[in-house]
Every structure is written in structure tokens, then in C-alpha cells.
Amino acid sequence: MRVGLVYDPVYLQHDTGTHVENAQRLIATTSLLEENQIKDRLVLLSPRPATVAELAMVHAREHISRIQSQAESDGGWLDSDTVMSAGSWNAAIHAAGGVLTAVEAVMTKKVNSAFALVRPPGHHATCWQATGFCLFNNVAVAAKYALANFDIQRVLIVDFDVHHGNGTQDTFYADPHVLYFSTHQYPFYPGTGSVNETGVRDGEGFTVNVPLIAGWGDDEYQAVFEDVLAPIARRYEPQLILVSAGYDAHWADSISLMQVSVPGFARLAEIMKTLADMLCQGHLVFTLEGGYHLEALSSSVSATLDTLLGNREITDPLGKQEAKSKPVNFNNFITMVRDIHQV
């Protein structure tokens, strides 16, 4: 089982200071992967920079130029959440390009699956706007690139970040060639992602939002992936699965109120690996989005990679916290989502 890891110190050039999305996220993660020797079992992949033309498949050229100019002016705040430094342009084009590198490696069978350990994250970035810590929408650029450069017509994007990927949804809301599936705490930032947002025109039915209530954890996430994602994926028959892997739904992460554990994330990875093996020759690419508790993030990424390598013995230094009381009947909720999408 050959699993690729995309990483480069260029991602540390995105200097956000004491911002919650900072370079320590990758430093802690790569340190753990070296310490537990998982890195030694991976195929290391060097990212290339995405070209302006590749970024422009998703983003307006004015937006791309604005990010480059801001970096050349030593960075600064783009909105109340999102900050840049002089090195952010180089980091951002390598973040988007890193996911392209992962896609290339998987689609050409250099590796079976891959994880792009990149920053800045991407799923909030829209055509015209950098927001929510994101400059360019890495996973959206990767989906467009895969459709344009390989003989495929259907890409599934699975987003389990605790925040809804509004930028990714916007990009593909009318596009049947990409099915966007998101689990996220709701209501929560950025305010989008209701269960009734299902796409428009040719894309109607190809957006699947599963808005989760604060306090839900491993059991609920697993049920959503098994009872909603799996039948939808089998019906769609994707030729590539891309994953926006945000680990901020971990119970120890103070940015959210969800209760997922490290083994819980590993179980989600196992479900997606099984679907990829069944439906699309194992074509599976993860890219890092959120996750801000350093030990929870690094342990969860490590567990994801361990799962992709075929190991089911997952180490969890943080343990599991029981899910809080559920304000609504979960089974009724699952039935409602399945009814909306006729699965």
C-alpha cells in the first residue's frame, strides 16, 4: 500500500504570528510523523506551485493578483479572520499546487492514496474573496484540474471540517461533475450549509449538506458516513475522491463544540478508503483544512495516514469524550437527510 505525503517547509512561510491558524500546526504534525516513524512508511512528494491559469479555473484573476500584490506589500489583514505575510503568496500557490501534486501522483498510480499536508487552508475561499483563514480554494482547484487533465467526469469532494466549505460549495453549486458532501456544526461560521442547499440547475442534487448539532461525536459522524455518504457515493460512482480534512471537530479543539475523537477520524478515513477502493480504483486524496489543537491535530493526521496504510490499531493519546445530550432525535435527522436526497 503506497501512500503519498505532500509537504514542504514553504508552508511555514505563511507567517500568521499568534493567529490560531499558524505554522505550529504543521511543525507539530510533521514532528509526530517522524517520532512515530509513520513518515518512513510514506512516499514523500514535493509540491509544485500552481500556475495562475490553474488558480483561475476557480478564482477571478483580480483576486489572484490581489493576493500576490498584498504579499509583495508585506501582507496584512484581508478581513477580520484572515491575515497574510510576505511569504504567503509562495505558500499559497504551493498549497494549491501541493494538492495538484497529490492528484497527479494518485491518478498516475505513483501512489494508491495521498495526503497533502498544506497551509494556508482553502475551503472558504470563493471566486472573488479570501476569507476564513483561506487564500485560494485548494480542493476546488484540484477538482477542476483533475477533470481537465484526466479522463474523468465525476469527482466527489467530502468535507468533514467543522465549518461548512462555502467556497467549495459556491464553486460547484451548478456543476454535476462534482458532488460536494459536507458535515459541519450548524448553525456556525460561515452560516451556510443548511440541509436544503442542494444545488441549482444542472447541479441540483449534487450538493449534500449534513448540518450537525453541537455535541455530536464519533457515533453520529460514523452513522452519517455509512448511512448517507456511502449510498450517495455508490449511486454517483465518482472516479476520484477528494477530502477536505478538517480536524477541528475534535472534542479538545476549542474552536468548536463537536465531540469527535482521534479513532473517530480514523474510522471516517477507513470508510472513505473503502469507498475509493470500491468505486474508483482507490483514487483518494486528502488535503488539510482546519484543526487547531496541536496534539489533536497531529494525532488525527497520523491516525488518518496510519489508516490509509492499512493499520487499524490507532493510538489515541487524548482519549474519547462522551457526546453531550442530543436536542433532537438523531435517527429522525438521518431519515430526513436520506429522504431529501432519495437514498
pLDDT single digits (tens) 287-307 = 999 999 999 999 999 999 999
pLDDT digits (tens, 9 = 90+) for 108-136: 999 999 999 999 999 999 999 999 999 99
Judge whether residue 325 has pLDDT over 80: no
Give me the catalytic one of 94, 123, 124, 341: 124
Instruction: Give the residue extent of every domain in the chain.
Output: 3-340
Q: What is the pLDDT of residue 327?
A: 52
Give CA–CA dist 280/277, Å, rounded. 6
- Residue 257 buriedness (CB in 10 A; 0-12 / 13-18 / 19+): middle
Q: Is 63 a catalytic residue?
A: no
Beta-strand runs (E) in 43-193: 43-45, 76-77, 83-84, 113-116, 155-159, 178-185
Give the architecture-level CATH label for domain 3-340.
3-Layer(aba) Sandwich (3.40)
Residue 181 near residue 271, CB atoms below 8 Å: no
The whole model's pTM is what?
Answer: 0.98
Report pLDDT digits (tens) over 305-314: 999 999 988 9
